[in-house]
Structure 1
Amino acid sequence: MHRLVIILLVLIFAGPPAALVGVAAFVNPAARACASGSLIIGDIPDSLTATTRSGHTIALNKSQLGHAATITTVGSQTVGVDRDGVIIAIMAALTESGLRMLANPSAHPESAGYPNDGNGSDHDSLGLFQMRPASGWGSVAELMNPDYQARAFYGGTTGPNAGSPRGLLDVFGWRELDRGAAAQAVEVSAFPDRYREYEPVAESILTELTRSGGRAGNGAGAAPPRVPETTRVVFPLPDGTYTGTDSFGWRVDPVTGERRFHAGSDLAAPAGTAILAVADGRVVFAGERGTYGGLIVLEHTVAGLTVASFYAHMHDEGIHVAVGDTVAAGQHIGDVGSAGKSTGPHLHLEIHPGGQNEPAVNAVDWLTEHGAAGVADSELTIAGCRPERTP
């Protein structure tokens, strides 16, 4: 045991910052860096009964579950938040407000004028997470907005408070913390142990909310549910990692020398660079396909239209999703490779408005037209482990 401690101390103080993640995973093999499962909301039930860690039964109504759905949707839109992060957020809201948007007329009379589920009276705290204007979380108008409160709780580079007060993504190593400790790191409560009580309730809520929004079909021959409208569109490689090498249209094939039509946009990037889903969607293909090499095909709904996106030339070990998975825009779905008909590491991206069997359009132009946002490399996380393949 002493020898293990010495090795860990050497790694922490002598190694680069990236080594800290490896140390945490070594100490805790069950570290939750690869939580899996859909974050796409299905039908919100009228009620749900769940049991706390200590065995108490609580009943939640549709309004409370609707707030949990908002927290989940915002989490799916936030790069770096996965299913585990959403559970932590729901735990915090259950503990702080019982998943209710609480006004506080005694401290902020104007808060009663916003949609709410009742009144609270803890200092000047407001809303789902009982955030305080006096502590810098936001204005009364902002904190009476459930969407804003969820974004503030998650924090990170896209959060509204720039890390002060800090949200979950601003807590170093939050994935290696106990979920209750992670919630406490954001809420800074005088009662730090109470969040763990609601962990099984949060898990039950998220399972129920995503039950019909995840994998396709509930029975033999069942048609997959329509992919919900995407919440945003992003560029498929992190900012600063790529250069355009070949464009959409007619060209001289670099392998055969023949003049052929090129249906995608080629973006050169170092092998292993994260490939990101361009929009919220569902995986309809993941595996080897001819000259594409390793290929992922996603289906999305963008402006009411079905759109398919193709991501090609990954090596087998570089595919991190499986057919039926749901993904969020900006989620790390694979790694750049050079498999198939390829002359070097790059992403071959195709966009097919109307679906995967319809003609492709210029992918870069399509992304530009739809206001695709860039994603910083530092914001990335793999939101799901690559599934084991059966023989």
Structure 2
Amino acid sequence: MAKLLGILLVLVLTLPSLGLVTVVVLLTPAVTACSMSSLAVGPIPDSLAARTRDGSAITLNRQQLTHAATIITVGSQTAGVGRPGALVALMAALTESTLRMLANSAAYPESAIYPNDGEGSDHDSLGLFQMRPVSGWGTVAQLMDSTYQARAFYGGPTGPNSGSPRGLLDIAGWQSLDPGVAAQSVEVSAYPDRYQNYQPVAEAILAALTARATNSPANEGPRVPETTRIVFPLPSGTYVDTSSYGWRTDPFTGEQTFHEGSDFAASGGTPILAIADGTVTFAGHRGGFGNLIIIEHTVGGERVASYYAHMWDAGVHVVTGSTVAAGQHIGDVGSSGRSTGTHLHLEIHPGSPESAPVNAVEWLAEHSAAGLQDGSVVPAGCIAATA
């Protein structure tokens, strides 16, 4: 190290401009991180074929790649992660679940009610990273949420667990560790050597999902691939249609006003599901909507935006820029903003978030939304309307 510093000192004295740039690049981690390719997620392919380090072939489907996109997106929004951290996280999730959101009905029967990609059976582990509630990683509801699991894996000052259990950013010097060793430091697996096997697959995912888009107009908005399916935004049997799209008596003013959404009364905390694959373009508080999530989708080649309103502060489980899958748990029913009771206010805007909304229930029916069955939506007037 002393010899290296001596060489640098000579460069500074003999070639001041070049020497200064060299010192900054070598000794400033932030500059090194900024020189790496972007972690912005582009279009998600329908499948990706790759090989593990031992030569085994693996093909990931679009659902698995969507989970990978969520992990990458959360990493891009978490200071200190960068591309190396996203690589470690992908290696861990590939090893633990092959990038599947796994329920575990034997240990937690309630885990099966959340959107999932199958059943796991490793003790009481859940989700993409096979995290255990008894180890303090989070509740069942939290661990069945891919965004929460990614935040927990990365940890650090903005992580949900305050360093216990430790996330990647809570491990001193993780950047200097082999990526497989870094993954094991978080997962604490009984099989510590298996993570390295998935490094080539994780690298292939990063290369495929973060490739820069070309010839894309600056005002085009996020590039959103065609959705794989349409689903109803609340679990069957948990809601009542209390105030549909159209003219109604405003519950606050008593005047006739046009209601641009559909209201579904449900108990506070009921899971809200994304109606289609897409990208979150807004997640936060907005006027009378209260806490609002806007997701943009591509359906039948057309851009469509969906609005989910009135969640409580703790009920928003995604952030702007997140990539979500149809049926993913994105929030919980609440009653924030201009609201008279716990419910989901849903709007569908074909074209863009600024376009005029259409009747959400009719749109979902026209697109054969899973979970929307005859009789599952009770006509308005059965119980008191909610705003």
The CA distance in 2 between the partners of 1:59 and 1:223, in whole Å, is 40
| Structure 2 equivalent of residue 229 of structure 1 | 226
Change (3 A) 1:305 1:260: same
Out of 261, 264, 267, the position equivalent to 1:264 is: 261
The CA distance in 1 between the partners of 2:351 and 2:217, in whole Å, is 26
- 1:254 Cα offset (Å): 0.7
- 1:344 Cα offset (Å): 0.3
The CA distance in 2 between the partners of 1:304 and 1:255, in whole Å, is 39
Identity %: 46
Contiguous gaps of at least 5 residues in structure 1 = 1-35, 53-57, 94-128, 130-149, 181-191, 376-391
Aligned AA (2:270): T
| Structure 2 equivalent of residue 324 of structure 1 | 321
| Structure 2 equivalent of residue 197 of structure 1 | 196
Out of 281, 286, 310, the position equivalent to 1:284 is: 281
Matches within 5 A, 1:213-362: 224-362=221-359
Change (3 A) 1:209 1:235: same
The CA distance in 1 between the partners of 2:326 and 2:193, in whole Å, is 33
Contiguous gaps of at least 5 residues in structure 2 = 1-38, 73-87, 106-111, 136-152, 154-179, 181-190, 373-387
Aligned AA (1:341): R
SS of residue matched to 1:317 = helix
Structure 1 length as normaliser, TM-score? Answer: 0.52
| Structure 1 equivalent of residue 210 of structure 2 | 211
The CA distance in 1 between the partners of 2:131 and 2:296, in whole Å, is 33
- 1:368 Cα offset (Å): 1.3
Matches within 5 A, 1:1-391: 41=44, 68=59, 70-71=60-61, 73-75=62-64, 90-91=94-95, 168-169=119-120, 171=122, 172-174=124-126, 175-176=130-131, 195-212=194-211, 224-374=221-371
Change (3 A) 1:265 1:212: farther
Aligned AA (1:241): T
The CA distance in 2 between the partners of 1:156 and 1:302, in whole Å, is 32
Report if aligned partners of 1:38, 1:325 keep a CA contact under 8 Å in 2: no
Change (3 A) 1:154 1:173: closer
Report if aligned partners of 1:286, 1:323 keep a CA contact under 8 Å in 2: yes
The CA distance in 2 between the partners of 1:37 and 1:335, in whole Å, is 27
The CA distance in 1 between the partners of 2:207 and 2:363, in whole Å, is 35
The CA distance in 2 between the partners of 1:90 and 1:170, in whole Å, is 16
Aligned AA (1:231): T
| Structure 1 equivalent of residue 18 of structure 2 | none
The CA distance in 2 between the partners of 1:362 and 1:195, in whole Å, is 50
For residues 124-183 of structure 1, what are the alpha-carbon distances to aligned partners after superposition, in whole Å with 9 as ceiling and x for unaligned? Answer: xxxxx9xxxxxxxxxxxxxxxxxxxx99x97989xxxx9xxx965455424137999xxx
- 1:321 Cα offset (Å): 1.4
The CA distance in 2 between the partners of 1:343 and 1:324, in whole Å, is 30
- 1:231 Cα offset (Å): 0.5
- 1:335 Cα offset (Å): 1.3
Give the number of aligned pairs. Answer: 249
SS of residue matched to 1:311 = strand
CA RMSD of aligned residues (A): 4.6
Aligned AA (2:194): Y
Aligned AA (1:286): A
The CA distance in 1 between the partners of 2:63 and 2:47, in whole Å, is 16
The CA distance in 1 between the partners of 2:40 and 2:197, in whole Å, is 20
The CA distance in 2 between the partners of 1:240 and 1:37, in whole Å, is 38
